[in-house]
Amino acid sequence: MIGINTHKWLSRSPNFKAGADKSLKVADLIDTITNQWDRGKVHTIFEPDTREDILKLKLSNVASRDRLLWKENKANKFSVRTAYQVALRLHHPQIGEHSLASMDRKMWKRIWSLNVPPKVRNFMWWACSNILPTKANLVQKKVQVDPICTVCGQHEETTGHILWECPLARNMWALVRGRIQKTSSSKASFFLLMRQMMERLSREEFLSYGL
């Protein structure tokens, strides 16, 4: 069931009147006899601008179950690819839409074309999307943990730190042949670090990184 305050069912966030019951479902706003909006409830719960948005929505004459739509593609269906695009957009708001789309295509194609086990490709995707359960990410999720890296005890445990900047990680990368050790670690995110690697390294070197 679609919640009036927990799901995106309007084009903009709803404005509620003081004391309104925000736990209601959208179905609770519909008259079960006429199958039209219950104007009394709508007027009681929402401010005028939101009331107008709701009453503009036409309801079907056929009763059916609520369903969720994914608004990030024309098919309105969730896909890992579009979820990846959303993750990049959220983590890199300073990047323009056109540039982001181009970067996304190149990065996605390179990662998913690597001849490595699927679990390795998945891990690289998680790292680039900054959704690994690092201490820094756990703190952002309000988990009560010490954000400092348990390995070096000096810096915050971010994706970039634990996989690239931490002394232990640097020692591991020193064992990999090629130009990968010379890649700058001063990037704003692990995604941008990966972009730099993709642009500088050959396919074989990038493959050795994935392994």
The pLDDT value recorded for residue 174 is 79
- Quick check: 165 pLDDT over 50? yes
The pLDDT value recorded for residue 120 is 86
9-23, 46-60, 119-133, 155-169: segment of lowest average pLDDT: 119-133
The pLDDT value recorded for residue 48 is 95
Interatomic CA distance for residues 207 and 165, integer angstroms: 20
Q: Are 36 and 29 in contact (CB under 8 A)?
A: no
The pLDDT value recorded for residue 52 is 95
- Quick check: 178 pLDDT over 70? no
What are residue 113's phi and psi, to 5 degrees? -95, -5
**Encoded tokens for 71:** 């608004």
Q: Which residue has the higher pLDDT, 170 or 147?
A: 147
Q: What percent of the chain has pLDDT over 90?
A: 33
Contacts of 168 (CB under 8 A, 6+ apart): 151, 152
- Distances in Å between the Cα of 48 and the Cα atoms of 26, 55, 121 are 17, 11, 49
The pLDDT value recorded for residue 55 is 95
- Quick check: 16 pLDDT over 90? yes
Q: Which of 133, 211, 150 is nearest to 177 (CA)?
A: 211
> What does pTM read for this prediction?
0.48
Domain ranges in the chain? Answer: 1-68, 80-210
**Type of residue at 119:** K
Instruction: Identify the top-confidence range among 49-53, 79-83, 169-173.
Output: 49-53
The pLDDT value recorded for residue 117 is 86
17-31, 139-153, 185-199: segment of lowest average pLDDT: 185-199
- Distances in Å between the Cα of 196 and the Cα atoms of 46, 93, 169 are 49, 19, 18
Report the C-alpha dihedral over residues 194, 84, 156, 116, rounded to 10 degrees: -50
**Type of residue at 110:** R
The pLDDT value recorded for residue 98 is 47
> Per-residue pLDDT tens for 188-200?
578 778 877 777 7
Mean pLDDT over the full length of the chain: 80
Q: Which residue has the higher pLDDT, 86 or 172?
A: 172
